[in-house]
Amino acid sequence: MPKDEERGRVRIAIAQVSTKIGDVESNREKHIRYIEMARKEGADLVVFPELSLTGYLMKDVAYEVPKRCRKALEEIKEACREIYAVIGFVEEVRPGIIRNAAAILGEGEVKCISPKFYLPTYGLFEEARYFMPGDPLKDVKVVHGRFGAFGTLICEDLWHPEPAEALTRLGAELLVCIASSPLRGLNTPVDGRPWIDHAWSSLINATALTNSVYVVFVNRAGPEDEEFFWGGSRVVGPEGIELLRCRGMAEDFRTCDIDLTENARARRFSSFRIHLREFHKILSKI
């Protein structure tokens, strides 16, 4: 157990990596290397991007990787006896029924599996063609680690307020969003950065601010097929202030120290405590 003066202090490691489509074995080895790097840096938690074990643009290959993903997780968990890790993978829930999911590993075991709820199917995205969405009534899960409670969101989930609010009200002190966000708006920059960076900044900062909670966003970086992923992973504090940002367009590895007790201080000056359920009743009927 941590000492009283250390309670709430967490070192986060961001593994902003590029992965190979369908090459679970090669991606597994990369995860183990980065987990060891994070452990040597004294990190409590290391976070990888969405579908980090498989690559993102798999199409029908998505049906071929679940068993290999499970085998890889069983091997990776052995490297997670002294550190927690969030890893993106493909989960098979029934024969031929698969989900885009995040595995939380720690203390040498798989602590939790959280699926993606909102599946983008527009533009280049075809997720609903392959994946089954998570069920909010069963799949919203908070993990109580040695350093505190945290929960995961997957990419599009952060574009909707409900998953983040649900996790926070269930006790998550830290929200971890893993993503595979491709580059968009390079020719329409905002403040010198691609539009997609501006869009994510708005979402992450607002989520942290309205829920008075730390948010860790880890996006992949580098090329895959005909797309390019822009990186830009970051940590944002409970007042919506960015504390750390990884570089854009390339792999990166960085650590950030945070203090989860800051959430309580931020909530003294927010309306987080107020939740009008009646709005959800109206929305459920529209």
Name the residues annotated as catalytic. 50, 116, 155
Cα torsion 238, 139, 128, 179: sign: positive
Give the separation between CA 250 and CA 232, rounded to whole angstroms: 9
Do 117 and 133 form a contact (C-beta atoms < 8 A)?
yes
Q: Which helix (DSSP H) or strand (DSSP E) does residue 256 occupy? A: strand 252-259
Give the separation between CA 192 and CA 213, rounded to whole angstroms: 28
Torsion of CA 60, 62, 67, 70, to 10 degrees: 180
Torsion of CA 175, 83, 52, 252, to 10 degrees: 90
